[in-house]
Amino acid sequence: MITGKNRAIIFVFGLKKLMSKEAGVGVILINDMEEVLLILRDNNPAIPFPGKWDLPGGHPEGNETPEQTICREIQEEMEIDLTGFDLFNAYEWDDFREIIFWKKLNLFPEQIILHEGQKLAYFNRRQINSMDLAFHYNRVLEDFFEFYELISGTEK
């Protein structure tokens, strides 16, 4: 979770500094049952993490901001106009940089027109903890659930 000094550093240097050709943007969509929407990646050996569960998101095109990127990606992948989301955190891994947003949103995965990936499904924290997610999303979602407990007053 970005707070205090870390938040100030990100805004001083700007989110654009964290975005590069190795950068990505993701969004955590959590419903009222505290389940996170994940997308099952295509089972294509030419892509990273084929057949793994992933957060919705993608990579910037041109001079897009992270906010513009996540809006475009969600529109392209699921035909959803995403608004009212918040910054959760920015991660810098050895090989990758990622900006993660979040939004509380109740969706019906079976009604979503999916253009990328095999399917969508909601998973709770216990289920996610037993999964091997794409990229570094096990760590990201553990951080998120800790953050969400703080802001919502729930404990699991």
pLDDT of 8 higher than 60 = no
Mean pLDDT calculated for residue range 98-117:
96
Give the model's confidence band at 153: pLDDT under 50 very low, under 70 low, under 90 confident, else very high: confident
The reported pLDDT for the residue numbered 140 is 98
* pTM: predicted TM-score of the whole model, two decimal places: 0.85
For the chain, which domains are there?
Answer: 4-152 (3.90.79.10)
The reported pLDDT for the residue numbered 155 is 61
Mean pLDDT calculated for residue range 134-138:
95
Long-range CB contact pairs, 88-95, < 8 A, 24+? 88/1, 88/2, 88/28, 88/144, 88/147, 89/1, 89/2, 89/140, 89/143, 89/144, 89/147, 90/2, 90/10, 90/15, 90/18, 91/136, 91/140, 92/18, 93/136, 95/22
What's the chain's average pLDDT?
88
